[in-house]
């Protein structure tokens, strides 16, 4: 009986992961994709999708949770072991953007269902980490801003969301967006544009 239960659980987990993977791909392809479309693409019946996710909003919310965790991991990995605050910020933005480029359409979609407040709440740990890094840069004179670190972190976050929307709307080329985002964030923190551009170019080589 225990073996049968374990088998059922692992199969349900595999189904859930497959539904999430397929849902992300379908929603990025068609932001209006229905639960029926997602079920067909995943090769399961509609009831199976609803068994894991009671509504389309719940499915999107779960995808957003996964995206936020991926962004948090990329942010941490990008700055790990880097002493210079400017380089740490640049590396973290470049790392985040590699993930964000996959999820940027999902973020736009999530704004219809999860709300920006919900997304901001999910990003609280990432923002706290950014505040610490920005404060260190301000204390060392690497950054210069009339804003305190918490407000500057909030501005950076909103800028990144705005740049994602700019790519979605065709105003910024996706292949240039990561570097542009890193330079923009650094200059907003008071790093001279020439230095920010050179630093990001070096890190992008």
What stretches of 80-148 show up as alpha helix (H) in DSSP? Answer: 85-113, 116-122, 124-140
Q: Give the model's pLDDT for residue 120.
A: 76
User: According to the model, what pLDDT value does residue 110 have?
Assistant: 66
- Looking at the chain, the whole-number percentage of residues with pLDDT higher than 90 is 42
Structure-block tokens of residue 19: 């539904």
* Interatomic CA distance for residues 179 and 19, integer angstroms: 33
How does the average pLDDT of the chain come out, rounded?
86
Closest CA to 160 of 76, 77, 101: 101
Burial 132-167 (b: 16+ CB within 10 A, else e): ebbbbbbeeebbeeebebeebbeebbeebbebbebb
Residue range 109-167, pLDDT digits in tens: 666 665 556 777 888 888 999 999 999 999 999 999 999 999 999 999 889 888 888 88
Are 120 and 64 in contact by the 8 Å Cβ rule? The answer is no
Summarised one tens digit per residue, pLDDT across range 133-148 is 999 999 999 999 999 9
The pLDDT score that the predictor gives to residue 93 is: 92
């Amino acid at each position: 009986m225990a073996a049968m239960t374990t088998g059922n659980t692992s199969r349900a987990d595999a189904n859930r992961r497959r539904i999430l993977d397929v849902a992300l791909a379908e929603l990025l392809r068609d932001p209006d994709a229905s639960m029926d479309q997602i079920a067909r693409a995943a090769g399961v019946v509609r009831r199976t999708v609803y068994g894991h996710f009671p509504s389309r909003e719940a499915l999107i919310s779960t995808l957003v949770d996964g995206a936020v965790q991926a962004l948090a991991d990329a942010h941490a990995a990008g700055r790990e072991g880097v002493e210079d605050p400017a380089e740490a910020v640049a590396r973290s933005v470049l790392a985040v953007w590699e993930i964000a480029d996959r999820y940027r359409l999902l973020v736009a979609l999530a704004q219809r269902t999860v709300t920006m407040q919900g997304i901001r709440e999910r990003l609280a740990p990432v923002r706290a980490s950014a505040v610490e890094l920005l404060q260190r840069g301000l204390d060392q004179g690497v950054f210069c801003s009339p804003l305190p670190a918490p407000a500057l972190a909030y501005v950076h976050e909103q800028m990144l969301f705005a740049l994602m929307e700019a790519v979605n709307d065709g105003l910024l080329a996706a292949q240039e967006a990561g570097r542009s985002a890193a330079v923009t964030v650094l200059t907003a923190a008071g790093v001279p544009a020439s230095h920010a551009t050179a630093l990001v170019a070096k890190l992008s080589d």
